[in-house]
Amino acid sequence: MKPLLPVAVVGIGCICAPGPTLDECMDALFAGHRHPSLPTRFPIPNGFSFPVFEVPDTYLPTTAQDTVAQRTNLLALNAADQAFQDAGLEFDTLSHLRVGVCLGTNVGGSLGNENLFQDLNTKDKSHISPIDRFRVSNPTAALMETYHTNGPFQTVVNACSAGNDAIGIAAGWIDAGWCDLVLAGGADELYQVTYVGFKSLFINADAPCQPFDLNRKGLNLGEGAAIFLLASPALCQRLNLVPRGYVLGYGAAADAYHFTHPRPDGAGLHRALDDAFAQTDLTPQDIAFINVHGTGTQGNDRVEATVLNARFAGTPFVSTKGYTGHTLGAAGPVEAAFTLACLQRQQIPRTAGFNTPDPEISAVPTTENYPIDGTVAISQTLAFGGSNSVLILGKGGPLS
Amino acid sequence: MKVAILGIGALGGFGSGIAALEQALAQTPPIGQWVDFDTTQGPIRVPGLLADPSALANYMPKRTLRRMDHNNRVALTAAFLALGDAGLLEKKERGRLGIIVATGYGATCNNFDFQHLSIDGADFCGSPTRFSNSVHNAAAAYISIALGENGPNHSISHLDMSFPAAIMTAFQWLREDRVDKVLVGGTDEFCKAVAYKWHCDHMTSEPDDPILPLEAAPPMVGEGACFFVLSPAPDITPAYGVIQRIEIERNSRHPGNLPPAGAYIVSADTSPYPIEVLRSALPDHAAVTSYPCIYGVMPVGAAFDLAIATLCLKHGKIFASKPQGPPHLKKVGKAEGDIPLPNGPICCFQLGIGGTSSWFLVDRGTHTA
C-alpha cells in the first residue's frame, strides 16, 4: 500500500440531533444530553414505537425549510456552510481552484424514487423526470451546484459506511493531486422506508439504544450531516490554513459473508484496519481511542468487541450512537468530526446507554467522560452488505 | 498511469457475453420486447431491451440464487462473465481484488415495492429480504459474497456519471496499490417508473392511437450490466487495450476540453443535450458515433460504450451508429457506416446533468495481444 501523506482537514461542519454545530454537539455529548422520541415527520405504521433522533427544525434556517429541496440536501448544505466558516474561507474566492465533492448517502439515493412513486400513484407527472428526481435527492449534486465546484465528484452509496468511505476516497484525491480542495462527508435524513425497513430486520430498539450493554435491543435511527474540507498542502501554505485535523489512513474491506449479518470473526474489519494502518507508519499502540460503530445491535457490537479485544486491548473506546442515533450515510463523517473534536479537547464522552457489561463480549466502552493522552484516533463504520471502513485521524495543528 | 482491460462481461438486450455485444455491433441491433403493465391511467406497453441473467446458473448453484432479485442477478452474471473472460474465475489467480459497482438508479424495482408497502400500509409487514435487496450497494455485496472477496467493496450512484466515477476510483485504488486488480462495472434495471417516464416522453396517451412498431421506436429503455477487470498496465499484455486517462468534472459554462482522439463515442443516455453544446465540445471532422440502440437507454450506458470502444480497437474500425441513434447526433457527424479506425485513441465522452461531463481515452496499449 502506498503511504498516504497526511491530508489536512481545514474546516468541519456538523449538524445532528445533539446540536446544530460541532461545538454544540460536543457540549451536549459531554453533558450527557440525549433526546430520542418517536418520529414526527412521517406516519408511523400501527404498532411501531421505535424512537429516533431527529434534528429539530430550529437547527435549520426557516428560509431553507421552505424550499423544495430534500431535507438530506438541506442538512448537507448547512454542514458545508459551517465548514467554510470554520475554515475562514469564502468560496467565491476559490473559483480558480480545482474543487471536488465526495459525499456518502443512503436516503439521498432513494428519496427521488419516493417522488416517482408518489407521482405514479397520484397521476401527477410533474416530477417524474429522472433528472428532476436526481436533482432533488442527491446531496453531492446540491453542493456542486451551490458552490459551483469544478472538480471530480462522486456519490458513495455503501450503506452505513458510505460517509466514512467518501472521506477516505476524497483524501486520496488530495494525495493524488487531483484536487486542491474537496468537500467530503455525508448526509442522510430520517426516512420512512428505512424506519420500517430496519423493523423488518428486527434490529430497531423500542427504547433508547444501549451500545455494548448486556440488555441492548438494537439501534435507533437518526439524521444529520457532516462535511469536511480537505485541502492540499500547497493550499494550506498559500492561505495560511491551520488544520483542524488530518486524515492519516483509510482502509475499506468487505466481509464477503452475509448481506445483513456482520462476519463473526471480524475478518473484514481486521483487513480494513490493516489497510488503514498500511497507509501510515503508526501502530495500534499509537491510538489514543477508538470511536466505534457501536449501533447497539447484537451482531455489530459482538464483532467490534472481538476485533477490539484482539488488537486494541486496553485502548478506550466510545460509541456516540446513543446521542445521535444511527445517521446512516452521515454516521461516518459525524463520528469522524466527533473524533477530531475529542482529540482537540483531549477527552472522550461516556457511552450513552451503556450500563451493564455483557460478559459474552467482554468489551466495556467509556462509562464516564474520559481524559485521553494522544494525537491519533480511529473512527470506524460497519455496514449492510458487509462493508467495513476505517479512518485513522490525527489531531489538528500545524504539520510538523 | 494507464490501466489495462483484462476482461469484459457484458449482459443486456443484445444477449450475454462480449461476443453477443460484438455480434450486435457487426450485424443487426436487438429489437427489444414489449413490456405490459398497469398504471393508474390504464394498461400501457413500453419497449425494453431486457437482460436475461440465466447464464448465472453456470457459475452458482441455483439454491444460492433463491433470495437474489433480478437486478442483482444481472450484475452478478456480468461480473462472472468478466472474470471468466479474463481467466480469473479461480480466486487464487486474482490477487487482491477490489469491487466497484456503479448504478444510476439503484435497486429500483425492489425499492418501489418496498416503498409501496411502507408508504401505503398502516399495518406494515415488509419482507426483510426485499428491504435488504433494495439498498443501493446490494449488487456489490452479492458479488463480494459470491466471489468470497473481502477487498474493498464500493458502490456509486450518481445518475449518468456513476460509471465514470467508478472508473476514476478504480484508477485511484490501483495507483494507491490498494488492490492488484479491480472488478468494476455499471448496472441498471428496467423498472416501471423508468418505463412510465419513457412512455410519457415518447408514446401517445390516447388509447385509440396506434402503437408505434418496435423498429420505429426511439432508443428504448435498457437494462443490463457491463463489467471490466482492470489492472495496472505495465505488467501485463492487455486483451482489450488500456484506458489512458479518465476525467470527470463539472463545468457549467462549457463541457470541458476534450482531448485529441481518432474517434468519439458519445453516450447519449439519460437526457437530450442541446446540439450546440455537443457541437462545441466535439472537434471538427471527428468520427462521432453513439450506440444506445445496442444496449438501451440507461444511466450506466457509458460502461457499454467502453466495451464497444475496445471492440472497435480489436476490429480496427468504428462500427456504424445504428438507425435508432439519437436524432440530434446526426447533426454532429454521426458515422452512418463502418469506417476504418482513425489514428489516435478512442474517446468515450458523456455529458451529464448539472453541467457535468466525463471522458476516458482508450487505446490498444503497448503490448496488445
- B67: nearest CA partner in chain A: A259
* Nearest Cβ partner for A385 among B111, B117, B135: B135
Indicate the SS3 state at residue A358: coil
Which chain B residues have a beta carbon less than 8 Å from that of A149?
250
What's the rounded Cα separation, in Å, for the pair A149 and A227? Answer: 15
**Inter-chain residue contact A154 with B118, CB threshold 8 Å:** no
Tens of pLDDT, residue by residue over A313-349, are: 999 999 999 999 999 999 999 999 999 999 999 999 9
- Cβ density class B58-94: b for 16+ within 10 Å, e for less: ebbeeeebeebbbbbbbbbbbbbbbbbbbebeeeeeb
pLDDT exceeds 60 at position B223: yes
What's the rounded Cα separation, in Å, for the pair B162 and B103? Answer: 6
Question: Which of B115, B199, B205, B270 should we substitute to test contact with A (largest number of A Cβ atoms within 10 Å)?
Answer: B115
> E strands along A232-375, which residues?
245-254, 289-291, 317-318, 347-348, 370-371
Closest among A76, A53, A72 to A205, alpha carbons compared: A53
Q: CA of A349 to nearest chain B CA: how many angstroms apart?
A: 31
pLDDT exceeds 90 at position A68: no
**Inter-chain residue contact A155 with B157, CB threshold 8 Å:** yes
Closest among A249, A253, A233 to A241, alpha carbons compared: A233
pTM (2 d.p.): 0.94
Average pLDDT for A18-42: 96
Regarding predicted confidence, which is higher, A136 or A312? A312
Q: CA of B139 to nearest chain A CA: how many angstroms apart?
A: 9
**Inter-chain residue contact A157 with B153, CB threshold 8 Å:** no
Tens of pLDDT, residue by residue over A101-155, are: 999 998 765 555 555 555 555 544 444 555 566 666 789 999 999 999 999 999 9
Looking only at the bridges linking them, the beta strands covering B181-188 and B97-102 are parallel
Q: CA of B151 to nearest chain A CA: how many angstroms apart?
A: 5
Any CB–CB contact under 8 A between A132 and chain B?
no
**Inter-chain residue contact B248 with A153, CB threshold 8 Å:** yes
pLDDT confidence tier of residue B206, bands split at 50, 70 and 90: very low
Contact B11, B75 (CB under 8 A): no
Neighbours of A235 (CB within 10 A): 20
Residue whose cell numbers read 466471489: B147
What's the rounded Cα separation, in Å, for the pair B312 and B306? Answer: 10
Contact A152, A170 (CB under 8 A): no
Indicate the SS3 state at residue A210: coil
Which chain B residues have a beta carbon less than 8 Å from that of A134?
159, 353
Residue B127: the pLDDT is 80
**Inter-chain residue contact B159 with A275, CB threshold 8 Å:** no
Any CB–CB contact under 8 A between B353 and chain A?
yes
Any CB–CB contact under 8 A between B121 and chain A?
yes
Furthest-apart CA pair in chain B: how many Å? 64
Number of inter-chain CB pairs under 8 A, A vs B: 227
Contact B134, B110 (CB under 8 A): yes
Contact B298, B104 (CB under 8 A): yes
Residue whose cell numbers read 486474482: B94
Any CB–CB contact under 8 A between B93 and chain A?
no
Q: What angle do helix axes B18-26 and B301-315 make, rounded to 10 degrees?
A: 70
Contact A389, A272 (CB under 8 A): yes
Tens of pLDDT, residue by residue over A245-263, are: 999 999 999 999 998 899 9
- Partners of B28 in the β-ladder: none
Average pLDDT for A365-383: 97
Residue B322: the pLDDT is 64
Closest among A81, A251, A249, A242 to A161, alpha carbons compared: A251
Q: What is the dihedral of CA B350, B203, A114, A138, to 10 degrees?
A: 20
Tens of pLDDT, residue by residue over B151-187, are: 999 999 998 899 999 999 999 999 999 999 999 999 9
Regarding predicted confidence, which is higher, A32 or B277? A32
Any CB–CB contact under 8 A between A364 and chain B?
no
Residue B336: the pLDDT is 66
**Inter-chain residue contact A46 with B132, CB threshold 8 Å:** no
Rounded to the nearest angstrom, the gap between the alpha carbon of residue B263 and the centroid of all alpha carbons in its chain is 20
Rounded to the nearest angstrom, the gap between the alpha carbon of residue A78 and the centroid of all alpha carbons in its chain is 15
Which chain A residues have a beta carbon less than 8 Å from that of B155?
156-158
pLDDT confidence tier of residue B324, bands split at 50, 70 and 90: very low
- Partners of B102 in the β-ladder: B156, B186
Sequence-ordered list of residues with C-beta below 8 angstroms from that of A116, at least 6 positions apart, any chain: A127, A128, A130, A133, B112, B193, B197
What's the rounded Cα separation, in Å, for the pair A211 and A96? Answer: 46
Residue B255: the pLDDT is 60
H/E element holding B360? strand B356-363
**Inter-chain residue contact A158 with B155, CB threshold 8 Å:** yes
Any CB–CB contact under 8 A between B203 and chain A?
no
Residue B211: the pLDDT is 42
Residue A153: the pLDDT is 97
